[in-house]
Structures are given as C-alpha cells and as structure tokens.
Amino acid sequence: MARRASIERKTRETQIALELDLDGSGQHTIATPVPFLSHMLTAFARHGVFDLSVQATGDTEIDAHHTVEDIGLVLGDAFQKALGDRAGLVRYGSATLPMDEVLSTVAVDFCGRPAFVWKVLGLERKWVGDFDCELAKEFFAAFASRAPCNLHVHVLESGNAHHVIECVFKAFARACDAGTRIDPRLEGAVPSTKGTLTT
C-alpha cells in the first residue's frame, strides 16, 4: 500500500501544495519564498529519504511567519494522511547528530497525540540571511500539532545559528525516517496496547 499524501491549503495569507511519499528515495522539488526554509526542506527530504514536493507562496512582504508555520502545518497533515491507520508502524524514532560544533537530539512518537518540547538556546534575535531563527520553533510546533505526534527537540551543544537549525532539521529527518518505517514483525498490528493510534 502506497504511503503517500497530497495536500493543498489556501488562505488569505498562504497558498501551499505539498506532496509526500514516505517510502521515497529523497527526491525533492522545493519552491518557497523563504530561501533558508527551502534549504532546510531539501535537507529534510534527503536525510529522511522522503520524496517531497513543496510549492508555496505567502505574505512574506509582512514577514515569513505565516509561510513557515503553515508549511509546518501542511507537512504535518501530509504525515497524518500518509501514515493512515499506522498499522505495522515502528512508531518511535530518534536521532542525535553533530554538525561541526553543534550537537542535537530529536525524538518523535507518531502516537496520534500532539506534544511538543523545544529545548534550544541561542536562536533568540538571530537571523540567517533574511530568516528569523525563532521561526524554526513555530515550524516544528505546527508539525507536531497536525501529524499529530510527540516531538522533542534538544540542542545539547549550541553554536552558529545556521548550524543549529540545520542540525535540528537533519536530526528531525532521521528521527521521522526511523519512526515511519514498517516493522514486518508486527504483521500489520498497530503498535499500541489501545489497539489504535488514530483516536
């Protein structure tokens, strides 16, 4: 069964079309009005080995907040749809990655319940090009709310703001790849004593 999703979201603030294949090969087509976010989504697709297409426009003449947050929402919606009933799902994933001086850990549980913990210091009032670094938190919070999943992001060693955010995105990709895999030992059973991860 194909684990794919195609989502469109149009509001007065943003217009987003996103396609996701959880069992892809890292192919990606990313076009957003926020270049640094486009770079991060490219890294997410490559390191998570997801096929991902994102076409987005937004009211970036105001600032990038709506666009960044809404792309997080739509990516979360796509994961929810692509995961279906979550039968056979590994469910949990985590990754600890270095990027030069930075070390980050991301852990995810695709349990059907939203929870978000962000322990990242050093991004306050920082910019990477024209990207407000505090928007990274808004992206991940939006994803966790709509996937829905438990998502914990911890930066253990901080440093250059670009490195911090990129390290987090790559760890997020690896954690999502691990958590969305199918465990053949489960033989299609839902990995929960409740018998469901969707209600």
pTM, entire model: 0.97
pLDDT (0 to 100) of residue 147: 98
Structure tokens at 169: 């995105």
Residue whose structure tokens are 């990709």: 173
pLDDT digits (tens, 9 = 90+) for 21-48: 999 999 999 999 999 999 999 999 999 9
What are the pLDDT digits (tens) for 130-188? Answer: 999 999 999 999 999 999 999 999 999 999 999 999 999 999 999 999 999 999 999 98
For all residues of the chain together, what is the average pLDDT?
A: 96
For residue 199, the model assigns a pLDDT of 75
Predicted local confidence at residue 188, as pLDDT: 87
Q: How do the domains of the chain map onto residue ranges? A: 4-186
In this predicted model, what pLDDT tens digit does every residue of 51-66 receive, in sequence order? Answer: 999 999 999 999 999 9
What topology is assigned to 4-186 in CATH? Ribosomal Protein S5; domain 2 (3.30.230)
